[in-house]
């Protein structure tokens, strides 16, 4: 959605813009309003014009973009499966889709074993018994410091599925995940239904998110999670060509639906707690004695992060191990760059929290992995338990400023609607 922004609103936004900051400084802020006050980050501001408009479906990949040749190289071999909608918006095709599920369309059948030859199966469970593949969608959330502090205090790493547009708006928050040693995966540029994009758009949604994460952390992810789980063999093929493993889930906390007035029937916090409790009791009753579980949870707002903290100890008691998804699969090299690694499953459960890491290159110097501190020590846990500082509404307010000659480009995001001036 594009709309004009009034002078008054622009003034308010500019007044809220902070001076340049660093990941380490940003990570110390626990007042949610301060955390979610936009800041100028030159490495992003300087190149934002070469990225798609924030939060809008990627329309195309310009021929001048380095990704274009990559797209052309794969385009002719992409499975000939029609988009299930237009421009990221699903159509009613799910009502008429064949029950035989020819496309291995997760939204229709929860299919995770592709039908097109050569495609890797999705990850939806964990190979090790009584192991929870721990992760959070829809970050980086601007006010996630209390939650990330909590994870650090528990020496707990997780898989963070980051939205490209949010990474561009909150780059220092994205850097924190790398600095804390979490595993960062792609969660698309605009968080639409991927099967409802044409090939070029679907490529762009993944490509630009990979570029955004690389820009701010110095790291190129090798995993992704489709928003709403919406993936079929055409989309899997594009992701696999980009080196991305598809990660889904088998259990859903439905935390993302809670407290949303438009959800009918409504999902209450009690419903979400019941979903957590069901997973916990399933673990206790032996459901995961041969293979572990992945549950869908979010860092989208204060409620979802607080709920995660409220349930962490109970999960830790029910499951033998809680690990990032990649760790559970012994993916010791989670990024294209080899200077940051993560432990194998055996090393992780033996207490290691780091691979052999070194400073990452790129704009995001924070990718220097400080996880070793948490792995070997007790963790400071300054916000341990309370987590009350996290309150953002996920798609909070953010701006990126680009001053170039007489041109002022202000890309603003308010409540999920992209306003571009």
Interface ranges with Zn ion (CB under 5 A):
137-138, 227
Which residue, chain included where needed, has tokens 């936004």? 13
**Tokens matching residue 41:** 């980050």
The CB-of-187 to Zn ion minimum distance in angstroms stands at: 6
The CB-of-27 to Zn ion minimum distance in angstroms stands at: 23
Instruction: Pick the closest to residue 233 from 120, 72, 75 (CA basis).
Output: 120
Query: What is the C-alpha separation between 415 and 13, in angstroms, rounded?
Result: 14
- Residue number with the shortest CB distance to Zn ion? 137
Query: What is the C-alpha separation between 255 and 309, in angstroms, rounded?
Result: 13
Q: Which is nearer to Zn ion, 154 or 257 (CB)?
A: 257
CB 146 within 8 Å of CB 386? yes
Q: Which is nearer to Zn ion, 141 or 152 (CB)?
A: 141
The CB-of-253 to Zn ion minimum distance in angstroms stands at: 12
Total length of the chain: 421
The CB-of-227 to Zn ion minimum distance in angstroms stands at: 4
The CB-of-97 to Zn ion minimum distance in angstroms stands at: 22
- Active-site amino acid positions: 137, 298
Instruction: Pick the closest to residue 152 from 420, 402, 383 (CA basis).
Output: 383
Q: Which is nearer to Zn ion, 128 or 230 (CB)?
A: 230
Half-sphere exposure of 400 (CA within 13 A, CB side): 23
User: What is the 3-state composition of the chain as percent helix, strand, coil, each rounded to the nearest 5?
Assistant: 35, 15, 45
Q: Which is nearer to Zn ion, 247 or 322 (CB)?
A: 247
Please give the radius of gyration of the chain, using alpha carbons only, rounded to the nearest integer.
20
Which 8-state DSSP code applies to residue 37?
S
Which residue, chain included where needed, has tokens 């995966």? 185
Q: Which is nearer to Zn ion, 70 or 257 (CB)?
A: 257
Query: What is the C-alpha separation between 81 and 190, in angstroms, rounded?
Result: 22
């Amino acid at each position: 959605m594009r709309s004009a922004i009034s002078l008054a609103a622009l003034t308010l936004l500019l007044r809220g813009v902070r001076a340049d900051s660093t990941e380490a400084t940003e990570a110390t802020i626990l007042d949610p309003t301060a955390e979610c006050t936009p800041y100028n980050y030159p490495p992003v501001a300087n190149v934002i014009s070469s990225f798609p408009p924030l939060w809008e479906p990627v329309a195309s990949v310009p021929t001048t973009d380095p990704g274009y040749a990559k797209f052309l190289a794969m385009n002719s071999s992409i499975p000939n499966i029609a988009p299930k909608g237009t421009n990221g918006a699903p159509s009613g095709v799910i009502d008429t889709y064949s029950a035989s599920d020819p496309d291995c369309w997760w939204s229709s059948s929860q299919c995770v074993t592709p039908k097109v030859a050569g495609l890797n199966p999705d990850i939806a469970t964990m190979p090790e018994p009584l192991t929870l593949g721990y992760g959070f969608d829809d970050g980086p959330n601007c006010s996630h410091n209390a939650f990330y502090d909590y994870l650090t205090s528990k020496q707990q790493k997780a898989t963070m599925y980051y939205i490209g547009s949010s990474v561009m708006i909150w780059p220092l928050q994205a850097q924190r995940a790398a600095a804390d040693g979490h595993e960062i995966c792609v969660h698309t540029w605009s968080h639409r239904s991927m099967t409802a994009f044409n090939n070029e758009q679907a490529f762009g949604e993944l490509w630009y998110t990979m570029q955004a994460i690389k820009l701010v952390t110095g790291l190129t992810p090798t995993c992704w999670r489709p928003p709403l789980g919406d993936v079929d063999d055409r989309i899997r093929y594009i992701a696999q060509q980009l080196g991305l493993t598809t990660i889904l889930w088998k259990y859903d906390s439905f935390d993302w639906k809670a407290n949303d007035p438009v959800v009918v029937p409504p999902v209450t916090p009690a419903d979400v707690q019941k979903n957590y409790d069901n997973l916990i009791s399933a673990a206790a009753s032996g459901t995961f004695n041969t293979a572990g579980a992945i549950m869908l949870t979010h860092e989208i707002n204060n409620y979802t992060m607080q709920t995660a903290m409220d349930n962490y100890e109970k999960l830790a008691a029910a499951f033998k191990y809680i690990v990032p998804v990649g760790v559970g699969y012994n993916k010791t090299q989670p990024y294209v760059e080899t200077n940051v690694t993560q432990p194998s499953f055996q090393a992780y459960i033996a207490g290691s929290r780091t691979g052999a890491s070194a400073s990452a290159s790129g704009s995001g110097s924070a990718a220097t992995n400080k996880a070793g501190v948490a792995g070997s020590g007790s963790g400071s846990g300054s916000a341990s338990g309370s987590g009350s500082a996290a309150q953002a509404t996920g798609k909070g307010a953010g701006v990126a400023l680009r001053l170039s000659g007489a041109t002022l480009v202000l890309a603003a995001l308010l409540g999920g609607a992209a306003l571009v001036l």
